[in-house]
Chains A and B, each alone.
Chain A
Amino acid sequence: MTPQTWPCPLPGGETAQEYALAFDKERTGRLLIVPALFDEANRMRRLTVETMRRLDAAGIDSMLPDLPGTNESLQPLLGQTIDGWKTAVRSAVSHFGATHVLGVRGGCLLVPDMLPGWLYAPVRGANILRQMMRARILVSREIGREESRSELVSLAETGGITLAGYDLGADLFAGLNALEPTASSDLTAIEQETVGGSGLWMRAEPSESANQADALAATIAIGIRQ
């Protein structure tokens, strides 16, 4: 496993060097993974990387790029857009020469439809935001401030909003709110029943599961070899 950088186009037309974790031995099966978003990115990171280790052992290359404004990226999250992220993903696909794609949770919203691949536990953008707004309402209530969801939505749509510590611009909020997982006959959903156990994205504390990584990697490796 090596950290790499890749040239990522930014919304303003410039390019940033973004980080990617890669198992790259120039093999024929090459999987680009679009990570889960926001808080779920932390909770799914370990499982994602453990899946990559198993794919490596099975003879498959995999790359896990940072989107601008996420993980190790030096770009501010504020100012990122859905179109910008989709462009970034397509650019990573071409830079790494991916043959397959895997979206994890919110990453399924950004997976391109030009390659075969998988959507692991896909989630609608509106559902991600709903949970983040609820967390903010609960925190506000603890400090004696009442906020309603409709107030938060109109705030977010006009000037952007900070939810669970993430600065979401108005464009990103609106884009995410309307976004559904990518639909394509080449993309297969992997539901949690296939992976077994309970989804790690819902855990209050980040956790790991060797069995789930085994199942996820096996599903993907079988698909890539076919």
Chain B
Amino acid sequence: MHSDIDLQLRRILTDVLGLKPGQAETFDAETGLFGHLPELDSMAVAGLLTEMEDRLDILIEDDEIDGELLETYGSLLAFAEAKRAEA
């Protein structure tokens, strides 16, 4: 069972990356994001983070964004869940 944030994050990645329905379902904690998906350039990352802010109702500081955050699906989800817990 995925948590609500997990489901929403998969939906956001589907929308931003234009994934086929169900494709994000196959993501696990180890699935590589930044550096593995060529379409995820800096403009796309900026769009992804803005979309996460809007839909998860969180605020992401620019200095919180680093390579590790976007390295895997697991790290991005952990970040989103920690941010939600703060909100």
Contact = CB atoms under 8 A, between A and B. Distances in A.
A204 B62 contact: no
A134 B62 contact: yes
A75 B71 CA distance: 41
A138 B45 contact: yes
A204 B50 contact: no
A153 B66 CA distance: 21
Interface residues of A, number: 22
Nearest to B14: A198
Given A148-B62, A198-B14, A134 B39 contact: no
B6 interface: no
B43 A135 contact: yes
B5 interface: no
Interface stretch (A5-13, A80-88, A124-132): A124-132
A138 B65 contact: yes
A132 B41 contact: no
Interface in A119-157: 127, 130-132, 134-135, 137-139, 141-142, 148-149
Contact of A203 (B16, B62, B65): B16
A39 B16 CA distance: 14
Interface string B36-78: 0001111111111111000000000011011000000000000
A127 B50 contact: yes
Nearest to B37: A204
Contacts of A130: 50
B42 A202 contact: no
Given A202-B16, A202-B51, A137 B62 contact: yes
B39 A204 contact: yes
A134 B50 contact: yes
B15 interface: yes
B22 interface: no
A205 B18 contact: yes
A137 B61 CA distance: 11
Contacts of A28: none
B49 A134 contact: yes
Contacts of A164: 43
B42 A138 contact: yes
Nearest to B62: A137
Contacts of B39: 204-205
A198 B51 CA distance: 12
B87 to A, nearest CB: 18
A171 B65 CA distance: 29
A87 to B, nearest CB: 30
A127 to B, nearest CB: 7
B65 A199 contact: no
A204 B44 CA distance: 5
Interface of A: 39, 127, 130-132, 134-135, 137-139, 141-142, 148-149, 164, 198-199, 202-205, 207
